[in-house]
Amino acid sequence: KQEVTQIPAALSVPEGENLVLNCSFTDSAIYNLQWFRQDPGKGLTSLLLIQSSQREQTSGRLNASLDKSSGRSTLYIAASQPGDSATYLCAVLGSGGYQKVTFGTGTKLQVIP
Amino acid sequence: KAGVTQTPRYLIKTRGQQVTLSCSPISGHRSVSWYQQTPGQGLQFLFEYFSETQRNKGNFPGRFSGRQFSNSRSEMNVSTLELGDSALYLCASSLNQGVSEQYFGPGTRLTVT
């Protein structure tokens, strides 16, 4: 059974700081890993999708890396802004016989002006 | 291009009743997945539909069911509601089954009293 863990559970940083969010998964047999942000009471917004054959993806101030062998992904946010405050979730799509998306526990980020 | 839409946005039901939630995917997307989000359990996969067929199913009781229509719209039904079914129900659409990037709707907030 795939288990996805995100550390830390909560993070508070001053505006302008660079930060790293972590995502760990137990089963390396995955098709892809996707990072999302969720604002309170809202749905999920897709940030980055990394296929299992890729090592990283970039979009603006965001950079996500994937190391399948160690079961880890990181989301790097450069020059954080108050608008980045949200909960960040990673989701793993398994490539076993029973394909299923497993979400991490989330990291709640607060960027202080 | 319009995003994923879910109706209704909010619902209040009584224990023992049943409820039907609706999801319209992004135009051209053929896969629809459903998730339940609660503070205690986080985001959990319910099921995925592709070409009107259920392709994957999470670990939920048979009270949770769904279907997909020929236009890719999907409905989710929960029968004999329990207090523990109170949650945010999220729908996600993707171009194809499994490996494609998922796009989420705003969710339906279900409260069972």
Residues of chain A with pLDDT under 50: none
Among the partner-chain residues A34, A49, A99, the one whose CB lies closest to the CB of B98 is: A99
Q: How far is CA B101 from the centre of its chain?
A: 17
Report DSSP state, residue A84. Answer: G
Of A34, A100, A104, nearest to B101 by CB-CB distance is: A34
pLDDT tens string B14-57: 999 999 999 999 999 999 999 999 988 899 999 999 999 998 88
Whole-number Cα distances in Å, B2 to B66, B68, B105: 23, 19, 11
DSSP A82: G
Amino acid (one-letter) located at A18: N
CB B74 within 8 A of CB B25: yes
If you count them, how many residues does chain B have? 113
Q: Are strands A19-25 and A72-77 parallel, antiparallel or unpaired?
A: antiparallel
Higher pLDDT, residue A97 or B100 = B100
Determine, for residues B103 and A46 on separate chains, whether the beta-carbon distance falls below 8 Å. yes
- Among all residues of chain B, which has the CA nearest to that of A107? B42
Token output for A56:
């990283």
Dist CA A42 CA A34 (whole Å) = 18
So what's the pLDDT on residue A31? 84
What is the band of B74 on the pLDDT scale with cuts at 50, 70, 90? Answer: very high
Question: What residues in A contact B88, CB-CB < 8 Å?
Answer: 41
pLDDT digits (tens, 9 = 90+) for A18-31: 999 999 999 888 88
Residues 28-87 of A with CB under 8 A from B: 31-32, 34, 36, 41-46, 49, 51
pLDDT, position A29: 85
* CB of A93 less than 8 A from some CB of B: yes
A30/chain B closest Cα distance in angstroms? 10
pLDDT higher at A63 or B58: A63
Angle at B72 between CA B64 and CA B13, to 5 degrees: 35
CB spacing of B44 vs A103 below 8 angstroms = yes
Residue B107: strand, helix, or coil: coil
Q: Is the link from the previous residue into A113 a cis peptide, with omega within 30 of 0?
A: no
Q: Does B92 touch chain A (CB under 8 A)?
A: yes
Average confidence score pLDDT of chain B: 93
Our CA-based measurement puts residue A28 at a distance from the nearest CA of chain B, in whole angstroms, of 15
pLDDT, residue A42, reads 84
pLDDT band at B99 (very low <50, low <70, confident <90, very high): low
CB A30 within 8 A of CB A23: no
Reported confidence tier of residue B98, pLDDT bands at 50, 70, 90 = low
Q: Is the minimum CB–CB distance between A106 and chain B shorter than 8 Å?
A: yes
Which pLDDT belongs to residue A99?
Answer: 59
Asked if B72 reaches chain A (Cβ–Cβ under 8 Å), the answer is no
Closest CA to B21 of B31, B11, B30: B11
Instruction: Inspect the interface and report whether the beta carbons of B99 and A31 lie closer than 8 Å.
Output: yes
Cβ–Cβ under 8 Å, residues A91 and A23? no
Q: Of the candidates A12, A24, A41, A22, which has an alpha carbon nearest to the alpha carbon of residue A88?
A: A22
Which pLDDT belongs to residue A11? 95
Task: Say what the pLDDT of residue A96 is.
Answer: 59
